[in-house]
Amino acid sequence: MKKRLVRAEVPAELTWNLADIFATKAEWEGELAAIARDLPGMGRFKGKLSTGASALAECLEAAEQLQKRLHRVIAYASLALSGDGTDPANQAAMGRAQSLGAEAQAAMSFIRSEALELPPGTLEGYLAESEALKSFARTVLRMVDEKPHVLGPETERTLAALGEVLQSPYLVYTRSKAADMAFADIKDSEGNTHPMSFAMYEEAYEKSSDFVLRRNAYASFTEGLKKYQNTYGTTWGTEVKKHVVTAKLRGYPSATHMLLHQQEVDPASYHMLHDVILKEIAPHMRRYAKLRKELLGLKEMLYCDIEAPLDPDFSPATTYASAAEVIQKGLAVLGDEYAAIVGDSLNNRWIDLADNVGKSTGAFCYGVPDAHPYILVTWADNMRGALVLAHEIGHAGHGVLAMRYQRLSNVRGSVFFTEAPSIINELLVGNYIAAQSSDPRLHRWLAMQLLMTYHHNFVRHLIEGELQRRTYVLAEKGQPITASVLSRVQGEILEEFWGGEVTIDEGARLTWMRQPHFYMGLYPYSYSAGLTIGTAVAKAIKEEGRPVIDKWLEVLKTGGAKPPVELARMAGVEMGDPAAIRTAVDYVGELVDTVVKSFAKTT
């Protein structure tokens, strides 16, 4: 049985280099202490914001510099914890960083409250008269937009001080998932025993061509989840209740309205994404599921079979070095500046490639000011990994360009836009791989890999979004959100979507336990928005070339300096038009057509 390495056993070259943030843990400790000492200094601006635009500009500048330092301290601890969530030292460091973050929020909470107590029109007047304040226009105008929902200064300070406590559902979920959850070992079709973990199930076993191994892994995974369902049901229920109560306190019609307001997304667009995609993509995915059932020779198709390989003998192997070369060539079309970022990310230990006990599952990118983005994946020497890396480098490239051309307060945009840069990169690299070969089997493989991406990010995450949409409606009516409620609603949504092509059993109904996104506001549905934008732009790049690329690079450099719908419009996509959504849905249909026709020719 293959032994999973502990973090200390992993070769350094397979890990990200946190020394690019702080050279040593002692340096991190020193900055942690220094920020704590400097926090009271923000008090010098209290009661002064009414004296003029220059006072507000100076205050915002000081706050941003403090936030930049704090961001680096939290990033260092968070990334260490993602590398090994079982290490008590990492857990303690993260706890200390979060506590400092809550203190900082409390120390700076007066800024918004005091600014919004100024007479109507004052902030707009400040912006008109002060050049120094103009670079903070986005921040100031967002304050004005939030004014109807801001509470009194003392209440806001109290809520900010409770920030760490209010984030506890997410902390309980992620720490439990990384450090406590255990699964029974499993056997493959030859009787060999394999270790089982959350990461190994999602990264390997769920996609295994070995029917016995895949089904045994699913059974072990389901049994492991069941042991924690009431705990996670409670944490999620608490998270939902927190938003419902907060929305009422702040005078929003509902928690959904509050969370969408934070994203700068109108409810009509939110509901349109759910309604159009879930209805119109379902027939394509059912057709694909039916093909899977036939090709895999299944009497019934379970949730664990959705990503099983249909052509397991064709799985292009690669090394990290070869994949890096493919990614660089595939993204070269984006120009020299972007190419340099790609090269740095691949060659300078921005990426954590290892598989070790306690490492976070999935893949993500985490931007760090005055350093660089960090990317987490679990590398497995296959070409699928190249597409995943290209996807995450899309986030990294966006982050680097935004930080290069915007001040920190204008870097991070709405999650509504977040996934657009990543899907564009994945499609560009996929197109490059396809252009290098006329092999129909490779083209079919690529279509299936992209379908996996769209299933995961366009279908699965939007189904999670639909679960949130229905759950918040129930919570607003006073329904306690528990494990049984979540499993019931999850099952109903899956039954509706798959229309009988997939058997929705206990394991499928527990899929709500698999994602931390539920603790990040209305995050899951936003993948569908990003993929809608990204699919349309990638299509335009392929058809029109340089003019679209130049426009796209300007969008990336804009960061979060504009609302997400305006960023999409800059890229040539109107998100209020269902036609934009249908472009992405139709593309998924084309991928399914490619796969169905290819297998029809070979059977």
| Bigger pLDDT: 515 vs 254 | 254
380 within 8 A of 203, measured Cβ to Cβ = yes
CA atoms within 13 A of residue 30's CA, in its CB half-sphere: 7
What pLDDT does 202 receive? 87
DSSP code for 183 = -
Average pLDDT, rounded, for the chain: 94
Q: Where are the alpha helices (DSSP H) in 20-87?
A: 25-38, 53-83
The predicted model gives 373-380 an average pLDDT of 95
pLDDT tens sequence across 54-73: 999 999 999 999 999 999 99
- Residues 223-247, mean pLDDT to the nearest whole number: 96
**What is the CA 183 to chain-centroid distance, rounded?**
25
Each residue's pLDDT tens digit, 187-200: 999 999 999 988 78
Separation CA 474–CA 547 (nearest Å):
47
Domain range annotation of the chain: 7-166, 320-447+526-562
Q: How confident is the model at residue 1 (pLDDT cuts 50, 70, 90)?
A: low
Q: Are 352 and 15 in contact (CB under 8 A)?
A: yes
Average pLDDT rounded to a whole number, residues 215-242: 96
Token pair of 602, please? 């070979």
The pLDDT tens digits for 421-462 are: 999 999 999 999 999 999 999 999 999 999 998 998 889 999
What's the pLDDT tens digit per position in 381-423? Answer: 989 899 999 999 999 999 999 999 999 999 998 999 999 999 9
Question: Which tokens is 214 given?
Answer: 């895949």
Look at 315 and 524; give whichever has higher pLDDT: 524
Cα three-residue angle 74-77-80, rounded to 5 degrees: 145
What's the CATH code, domain 7-166?
Answer: 1.20.140.70
pLDDT at 362: 81
Indicate whether 552 pLDDT > 90.
Answer: yes
Taking the C-alpha atoms of residue 506 and residue 223, their distance in angstroms, rounded to an integer, is 10
Predicted pLDDT of residue 315: 84
Q: Are 523 and 517 in contact (CB under 8 A)?
A: yes
Tokens of 258: 């509050």
Task: Give the model's pLDDT for residue 499.
Answer: 96
Question: Residue 511 pLDDT > 90, yes or no?
Answer: yes
Task: Give me the half-sphere count of Cα atoms (radius 13 Å) on the Cβ side of residue 223.
Answer: 13
Give the three-class secondary structure for 181. coil
Between CA 411 and CA 419 the distance in angstroms is 15
At 257 the pLDDT is 97
- pLDDT band, residue 603 (cuts 50/70/90): low
Which pair of structure tokens corresponds to residue 569? 């419009």
Parallel/antiparallel/unpaired status of strands 374-376 and 351-352? parallel
- Closest alpha carbon to 284 in 497, 581, 536, 580: 497
CB atoms within 10 A of CB 551: 16
What are the pLDDT digits (tens) for 8-54? 999 999 999 999 999 999 999 999 999 999 999 999 999 999 999 99
The pLDDT value recorded for residue 200 is 85
Share of the chain above pLDDT 70, in %: 100
Count of C-beta atoms within a 10 Å radius of residue 300: 10
CA distances from 328 to 345, 387, 526 (A): 10, 12, 28
pLDDT band at 157 (very low <50, low <70, confident <90, very high): confident
Write down the pLDDT at residue 2.
65
* Cα–Cα dist 239/486, whole Å: 13
Query: In terms of Cα–Cα distance, which of 69, 48, 64 is closest to 132?
Result: 64
3-state secondary structure of 300: coil
**pLDDT, tens digit (0-9, with 9 covering 90-100), for 90-148:** 999 999 999 999 899 989 999 998 999 999 999 999 999 999 999 999 999 999 999 89
The 8 Å CB, 24+ separation contacts for 172-176 are: 172/231, 172/235, 173/232, 173/235, 173/236, 173/516, 173/519, 174/85, 174/360, 174/516, 174/519, 175/85, 175/91, 176/228, 176/231, 176/232
pLDDT at 531 over 90: yes
Average pLDDT over residues 73-84: 97
